[in-house]
Every structure is written in C-alpha cells, then in structure tokens.
Structure 1
Amino acid sequence: MLSITLVQRCSTKALVNEAREEIENNIDKNKNYFSVSARIERANKNAGKSNRGFTIVNGDIAVNTGLQNADRCTSDKCKWPRRSNGKIHVPYILSWRYTRSEKRVIISGLQSFTNLTCIQFVPHTNEKDFIHIVPDRGCYSHVGRQGGEQMLSLKSNKCVYFGIVQHELLHALGFQHEHSRSDRDKHVKILYDNIEPKAEENFQKYDTNNLNTSYDYNSVMHYA
C-alpha cells in the first residue's frame, strides 16, 4: 500500500500485506473498490479551488494554492512522529456536524488502523499537529502531516463510507494513490485517450518507495 516509510517504517512487509488484506476484506461487501473512486469523483465534481487556501488535485488531494502537484511526502517533516513505545499517535478532531451514524462509520475507519498497525488515531487534546475531520464540499485530504491543524473533508451523504474514510486517512498518513506508485507501468496500462479532459492529472506517477510490496489491484487507494 505505497510507501511505508511515510509512517516511519513502523510495519514490516508481512504486516503491510496482512493489514492490506484485512482492510480490503472489511470494506462494505455490497460496494467493491471501484465505488470508492467513483463516489469520490462524484463528490468532488465541483470541489475545485477551496476558499481555505488550497486546491484539489489528482482527484482528492489538497495542495496549497499555487502548487500544481501533490507533495511526495519524502521528508521527515510530513511524517507523523513515532513515540518511544513504537506507536504513531495521530491526533484528530471529529466535527460535531456529523450525525451519530456518520460518526460511527468514521470512527470505525479510524479504529481499523489501530487494530492492524502501529498507527493510533487519538482524540486531540493539546497537540500542535492534528487532523480536523469536517463535512466540507467533498472528499479530500493533504498528503502527510502539514503542521498545525489540517483539514480532512468527508462530506455528509457523499463521502462517509468505510472505504472512503480509509482512503482519505491514508492520504493524511502520507500515502499516494496505488496507480500512482513508481512501478505502476509494470502492472497497468494507462489509456490516456480514454481519460476525460482535465482528468489526466489523476494518473500522474510518483517516485514512491514501495517496500517490495506487490502492486495491489484491489487497493482502496486504486482508482478505476
């Protein structure tokens, strides 16, 4: 599932593969992974430039206004720090504007990482850096830790699905899309003639460290 170094290499290759399998198996059985990208695309149809100082690129990645590409998240600055106990704590605030049922879905997505990896999403107290999950205009997240408060949007009635929650949280942890990883051309062929106008940016390739993990066609991070 893309560059594990982005979360301070807290997982071994075996754990990565195990977590990948478990996470994919826990996605709503009535909605395959294609629905994740399709739902995000529909929710973000009119997202575009935000009044919060960033723009949505590559489908659902927030970048600061003036930049054209998503951060590759290769520096320590964008990684969430690991504690002395080996755990990575990622503080978050969950907006009060979500319904009770929506909160259950989001919290389930947060807990799926705690159950399978060394990453623990914890309620924010006084930490300087944290994720603020809000029902903004679409489904989006920055890539990696930004410093201070960073918005992660899961629009009500559009983005609050288990697979989408995991997808955006993985971006916040520093992960790119599966089809953007450095070795993607060995596994998929991008038919650029079939891509809708102005959507080519969704298929950019990045210099990722894949930790010898196999390309995952069923990944929640894979666009169809």
Structure 2
Amino acid sequence: MARMSAFRFSALALLLLSAFCWADNEAEDDSAELSVSELLERANSNLIRSDNEPILIGGDIAIGSEDEKNADPCTSRGCMWGKFTDGKVYVPYYITNHFSEREKAIIIRGLESFSSFSCIRFRPTRSDDRDWLSIESQNGCYSFIGRRGGKQVVSLARRGCLYHSTVQHELLHALGFNHEQTRSDRDNHIRVLLQNVQSGMAHNFNKIATLNQGTPYDYNSVMQYHKYAFSKNGQPTMVPIPNPNVSFGNAKEMSSNDIARLNTLYKC
C-alpha cells in the first residue's frame, strides 16, 4: 500500500511538473511572436526607477545625465571599441551570477552571433581590462550608447529581457547605435504622431545626429520601434511615408542593414 501511494504521489508530481513546463513553454511561445520593440516596451513598462539607476530615454537607452538627452555620444565624443592588429574588435564582458545556466546560454548566443557577420568579438573579461560590459539583471532592459569607459552595465532583466532579439538590440546600443526612428533622416520615412504619444514621452522621438553609415532607412531594423510605441490611446505613434501601409518594427533579429552599418562603422 505504501509503495502504491508513493507511486501515485510520484505520478502526480510528474503530471504537475509537466503542466508547469507546458505553461512555461506556452508563455515563451507567446513572447516569441513579439518583435524586439514590443518585448522591450513590455519589459520596461511601469518600472519604478530608483535614484541610483541611470536615466532612460527611448525606452531602453541609459544616459548619465539630463544633458545627454538630445545628444548622440558617438558624434559628441569617441564611443567606439578599439580594433586590434588582427583586425578584430574585442569587447570584454562579464556575466554576473544573477542568471541560470539556461539564461546565460541565451546571452552567450547573442554575444557570439556577432562573430558570424562582423569583426566584433565579445570575450570574457581579463584582469587587465580597463573597460568592459557588465551584463546584469537590473531594472528592465537597457544599455548605454557606445564605449563609456570602465565598468558599463548592460541590463537584461531575467523577467522579460532574455530573448535573442533583445540581447542583440542592447549590444548594438553598447557598440554605438541608436534607435532607427531617431535617425537624422527620419522625417523622410516616418511621420511621428505626437498627439498619440504618452505625456512626457515625446522626447523619445527627438531626432539626433546619428551615424547612418550610408545605409538606407531600415523599417526592418532590430533598432526600429513598432508603430504603437509609447502610445497613450492605442493609436499609432508612427506612420511610414509615403506609403502608410509599409510594415515596420517587426524585427526579431538584426537585418542586413544593421549588419552593414555595424561593419562600416568598425571597418570590418
């Protein structure tokens, strides 16, 4: 009888575990249908930021002060990571112990993806590194733009940020790239509808003197936000021009133009 009860208990435990795993996979499948900008907006919405956290603009770009809000660090100062004599650009990183092994694998896959299409090589930190990316699970998803010097936090919160697309997106920020909709030539391709933008969020659509690297405006860029980003009323905040029916903001990984401008900037 005791053996039968133990068997029943084990079977019930396995059933519950299977149900839990199925539900978890369902949640992941639902998220997998979202574009990177939708994932970022969902992960960073309704967060209460403390005084010791960086200011965020554009939803996920960290800045050191209000003075940086309308400036592009890549044009106001040097922001690139240096190239070595072998032609590679080595960017040191450290992954904190916030993450499980499965979560680390997602991050490492994103880091290593750059080596397949560029001269960028993310590598683990060494004791003599002066500048490095500290990949942490902080309050939401965010990164500074370009190389800042010293320890530089890239936040990939365990809740909502651990997807291949979001890892690539934040790493592109760390390499020096802004959002597509803030490009200097944005008004030729996107019309911003400020009347639909949440109060206090209009600055997220300010144009800046971006480094476009001679590439065309890219509706399919992993850095392009979706048409309802920061909407207060469920109406579009951005409409493509001249054709309003063009699909945009749906990327789940880097586009060919994202790769081209990265290789141009770093002369890969």
TM-score bucket of the superposed structures, by smaller chain: 0.7 to 0.9
Pairwise CA distance, 1:163: 0.5
Aligned to 2:69: 69
CA distance in 1, matches of 2:217, 2:78: 27
Distance change in 2, residues 1:194/1:217 (3 Å): same
**Which residue, out of 202, 205, 214, partners 2:204?**
202
Distance change in 2, residues 1:100/1:173 (3 Å): same
Aligned to 1:215: 217
Q: 1:192-212: CA deviations, max 9, x gaps? A: 112122221221111123122
Note the aligned Cα RMSD (angstroms): 2.2
Aligned to 2:259: none
Quick check: which has more Rg, 1 or 2?
2
Q: Which has the higher contact order (CA 8 A, sep 6+)?
A: 1
Pairwise CA distance, 1:29: 10
1:59 counterpart SS class = coil
CA distance in 2, matches of 1:65, 1:48: 18
**Which residue, out of 158, 161, 165, partners 1:156?**
158
Distance change in 2, residues 1:48/1:218 (3 Å): farther
Distance change in 2, residues 1:144/1:88 (3 Å): same
TM-score between both structures, scaled by the size of structure 1: 0.81
Q: 1:65-117: CA deviations, max 9, x gaps? A: 34351651125632111111111110000111111111111111101111110
State how 1:20-169 maps to structure 2 within 5 Å. 35-47=35-47, 49-52=49-52, 54-69=54-69, 71-72=71-72, 73-74=74-75, 77-126=78-127, 127-169=129-171
Which amino acid letter does the alignment assign opposite residue 52 of structure 2? R
CA distance in 2, matches of 1:66, 1:180: 17
How many aligned positions are there? 197
CA contact 2:98–2:137 (8 Å) conserved in 1: yes
TM-score between both structures, scaled by the size of structure 2: 0.68
1:52 counterpart SS class = coil
Q: 1:23-45: CA deviations, max 9, x gaps? A: xxxxx998689631122122222
Distance change in 2, residues 1:50/1:143 (3 Å): farther
* Identity between Structure 1 and Structure 2 (%): 43
CA distance in 1, matches of 2:121, 2:33: 24
CA contact 1:110–1:166 (8 Å) conserved in 2: yes
Distance change in 2, residues 1:210/1:120 (3 Å): same
Q: 1:139-163: CA deviations, max 9, x gaps? A: 0000011100010000002100110
CA contact 2:49–2:139 (8 Å) conserved in 1: no
**Which residue, out of 165, 181, 184, partners 2:183?**
181
Which amino acid letter does the alignment assign opposite residue 87 of structure 1? K
Range 51-60 or range 162-171, more displaced? 51-60
Range 144-153 or range 68-77, more displaced? 68-77
